[in-house]
Amino acid sequence: MESRTSILKNTVALAIPNILNPLISFALILVISRYLGVEGLGQYSLVFSYFGLFATLAALGLADLVVRESAKRPQDTHLLLANAGLFGTFSSLAALIGMDLLVWAMGYDEELVHASFVCSLALVASTAVSYLEAIFRSREKSEYVALCFLIENVVRVALCVGLLLWNFGIVALFAAVSLSRLFGLAVMMLFYVRIFGRPLLRYDREIWGMLYSQSAIFASIAIFSTIHVSIDQILLSKLKSVESVGIYSAADRLLTICKTVPVAFASALLPVLTRAFVTGKGEFRDLLTKSLGYLLVAILPMVVGTFILADRFIDLIYGQKFAQAAPVLQLHILSLVPFSMVFVLAQALIATENQAVDLKINIAAAIINVVLNFAFIPSLAEIGAVLATLLTIIIFNQLQNLYIKRHLLDISFIRLYFRPLAASLGMGLVTYILREWNIFLNIAISATVYVVMVVAVKALSTEEIRWLTGSMFKPR
């Protein structure tokens, strides 16, 4: 019960800002679309794709290692942060140079190259933020991370919108992005000192050795996972056009909002899974199985509803000039299901110290994704990029399932999917019938129907519903 409450609290704490942040960012996206057009949105999204790739490289994937080790030995929190921070500073500087050289070598127009150079300046701060976030996650105080990201995002959007209204271009936008990242680092550091005290800035040979020995595996996992998630926009920009990236990113941003739930849930789950595995394999099995079931209850209605109302969402948010993004969103939203499973099962592999297996699967997925993108994008453009992503994440999930079944535990995925899927399809029928109604009224009615269906098909037990409602509405 305590584990479930902890997971719920930290999931909500991580999910709320991750949902609010994209919603707040929509103000910026709408202004970019109006002032810079489809090409401007494509440039903005493309630079962020490169930044995401090199931010992963800069942090060496060590955030999850910091979470795991800090959960095991909280007394070493300050030393873990200090040594990881020093380690990450060198890797971030190398990543900064690498990003600048790669974007320059790709032959983009001068404005985009300059914007990328300015954006790369935020890499060192982003690495520090990722390690600080890891400490908060390990100590189950994710609400502070939530508040910090929310503050940073409000500042970033306000600065960028102001610059656009004053007719500044894409380079100025990324100057604001870099400055707001530095501001976010300062805020998170203040929270850290307030909650945990002043960090102990001392070199520790044992921790440094652990970071060094594990960095290759964790960095490779992070890099290859980022490649198979982010490479599509980069390849799309070269095999088609920056405008194609704009259409793709319009759909991808809506998927990103939906991804906040599984990402927050999995992030909150890692320290709890780590302790459960130390306690015993039975507790670990029960926790993982129930967690996957809860996640399906949360995400399947999003998939069904978004698939049915994709054209309405695109028109409402972006307008008719982005109408091509509707079929892209319909196909793209289907990847949310395997993505969610992949993200949680990856945490399970890390918690059980099977990160080497996770690395091998990520390498295979990255190779498959690149091959499929080259095969599909030339003829299918944005749809090809989405199809490559969907097929890759399905294969990724199946490889995870195969290893976990053979070496850790046997999970009946058919039983996990059946009831939540039945409830979601029942809701989807209502959503489809009401598809011409006011979209907000449709969503409200569909959500109500889904809750009724969850109870009717027993996707959640009576005890689980009672616990969930009690956790949400109990007096503070």
Predicted pLDDT at 462: 65
What would the DSSP string read from start to end of 219-257?
A: HHHHHHHHHHHHHHHHHHHHHT-HHHHHHHHHHHHHHHH
Whether 41 contacts 82, CB under 8 Å:
no
Pairwise CA distance, residues 364 & 348, whole Å: 19
Q: How many residues does the chain have?
A: 476
Residue with tokens 């995002």: 153
**Predicted pLDDT of residue 476:** 39
Mean pLDDT of the 284-301 span: 85
Q: Is the pLDDT of residue 220 over 50?
A: yes
Lowest mean pLDDT among 41-55, 219-233, 238-252: 219-233
**What is the residue-averaged pLDDT of the chain?**
82
pTM comes to: 0.71
| Cα-based angle 465, 467, 470 (whole degrees, multiple of 5) | 105
pLDDT at residue 159, rounded to an integer: 93
Count Cβ atoms within 10 A of the Cβ of residue 289 and give its class: 0-12 exposed, 13-18 middle, 19 or more buried: middle
| Percentage of the chain lying above the pLDDT 90 cut | 29
CA proximity to 65, closest of 197, 237, 208: 208
Long-range contacts of 447-451 (CB under 8 A, 24+ apart): 447/301, 450/301, 450/423, 450/424, 450/426
What does the pLDDT look like over 60-77, one tens digit per residue? 777 777 777 777 777 777
Whole-number Å distance between alpha carbons of 200 and 255: 40
| pLDDT for residue 470 | 46
Q: How far is CA 337 from CA 7, 29, 344, in A?
A: 20, 26, 11
Residue 359 CB partners (closer than 8 Å, separation 6+): 217, 220, 221, 224
| 343 pLDDT higher than 80 | yes
pLDDT grade for 357, boundaries at 50, 70 and 90: confident
Mean pLDDT, residues 217-223 taken together? 72
Q: How confident is the model at residue 143 (pLDDT cuts 50, 70, 90)?
A: confident
Does residue 380 register a pLDDT over 50?
yes
Choose the weakest-confidence range: 3-12, 244-253, 306-315, 401-410.
Answer: 3-12
Q: What is the pLDDT of residues 105-132, one digit of tens each?
A: 988 888 999 999 999 999 999 999 988 8
- Reported as a single tens digit per residue, the pLDDT across 173-187 is 999 999 999 999 999
Query: Running DSSP on this structure, what letter comes out for residue 459?
Result: S
Taking only the tens place, the pLDDT of each residue in 436-466 is: 999 999 999 999 999 999 889 887 776 666 6
- Distance CA(422)–CA(38), nearest Å, equals 39
CB-CB contact of 252 with 236 (8 Å): no
pLDDT on residue 61: 74
pLDDT for position 474: 45
pLDDT of residue 336: 94
Averaged pLDDT for residues 346-351: 81
Cβ–Cβ < 8 Å for 275, 139: no
Q: Which of 218, 232, 180 is nearest to 58 (CA)?
A: 218
Could you count the other beta carbons within 10 Å of the beta carbon of residue 440?
9
Residue 13 reports pLDDT greater than 60: no
What is the H or E stretch that residue 39 is in? helix 2-59
pLDDT at 472: 40
For residue 427, name the pLDDT band (cuts at 50, 70, 90): very high
pLDDT band at 18 (very low <50, low <70, confident <90, very high): low
Whether residue 134 contacts residue 70, with contact meaning beta carbons closer than 8 Å, is answered with yes
The pLDDT assigned to 88 comes to 80
151 vs 76: CA distance, rounded Å: 29
Q: At residue 42, does pLDDT exceed 70?
A: yes
Number of Cβ within a 10 Å radius of residue 219: 20
Q: Is residue 1 a contact partner of residue 132, using CB atoms and an 8 Å limit?
A: no
